[in-house]
Amino acid sequence: MATNEPIACTTCALPGGPCGGKGIATLKDGVWAQNPISIQILGICSALAVTNRLENSLVMGVALIFVCVGSNLFVSLLRNVTPRRIRMIAEVAIIATFVIVFDQILKAYYWEMSKQLGPYVGLIITNCIVMGRAEAFALQNRPVVSIVDGVANGIGYAIVLALIGFFRELVGAGTVFGHVVMPEWYVPNQLAILAPGAFVALGFLIALFNALSGANEEDEGTQP
């Protein structure tokens, strides 16, 4: 393993580097081209549940980056010694460890935030993004590039959550990070804070991402 080499983007792109030449592509996939939420539509439950405020969204994003990186690294390190038949159990055990660590840190130092997020930090154990990356990526790849994949998918998730959280807090309460930013005459639109508002916001965001990336373009010629 080449962990002692400096991890710079120039070496990531090189075939001989620690990422085996897949560094940049992996990063791009996770954040944009294969974004777990806007393209793969995974992890929607938490994306809808905790995004009523920007602060919550960011903490949740950090939690997912932490768990995804940790689980990807260890699943990858153990990939050659994990018996195939019990690999899922092993993955869940690794993921759960990191989730509990994060949850305990939150409880110890950020009690208010922990209360706000409620069960959703614990539920990262069942988050299909984390599990999916472990299964689809870390099991087949070397540790360093697995970390890159964990970071990329975590960031991809965090960006989408932050955008939804920003929009919902702004429209639903007229605030950003709890500070009032909308003018006095603004009447908060309470739908934005409710679950339906999250669906609408996510729908528009996915539409926007698709429009920007040209994905899911309907082929006019094949229309009936």
Residues that bind other proteins (CB under 8 A): 187, 189-192, 194, 196, 200
Quick one: tokens of 160? 């989408």
CB 221 to other proteins: min, Å = 17
State the minimum distance, in angstroms, from the CB of residue 193 to other proteins. 10
Q: How far is the CB of 178 from other proteins (least distance, A)?
A: 21
Nearest-approach distance from CB 197 to other proteins, in angstroms? 8
Q: Which tokens hold the place of 212?
A: 């920007």
Which residue, 128 or 200, has its beta carbon nearer to other proteins? 200
User: Which residue is it, tokens 């069960």?
Assistant: 119
User: What is the longest distance spanned by two Cα atoms in the chain?
Assistant: 63
Nearer to other proteins, 81 or 187 (CB): 187
Say if residues 159 and 193 touch (Cβ distance below 8 Å): no
Q: Which is nearer to other proteins, 93 or 194 (CB)?
A: 194
Q: Which residues contact 130 (CB under 8 A, 6 or more apart)?
A: 64, 67, 68, 71, 95, 124
Rank residues 165 and 197 by Cβ distance to other proteins and give the closer one.
Answer: 197
- Within 8 A by CB and 6+ apart from 37, the residues are 43, 44, 47, 156, 157, 160, 161, 202, 206
Q: How far is the CB of 213 from other proteins (least distance, A)?
A: 19
The nearer residue to other proteins, 108 or 187, going by C-beta atoms, is 187
- What is the distance in angstroms between the CA of the first residue and the CA of the last residue of the chain? 54
> For residue 120, how many other CB atoms are within 10 A of its CB?
17
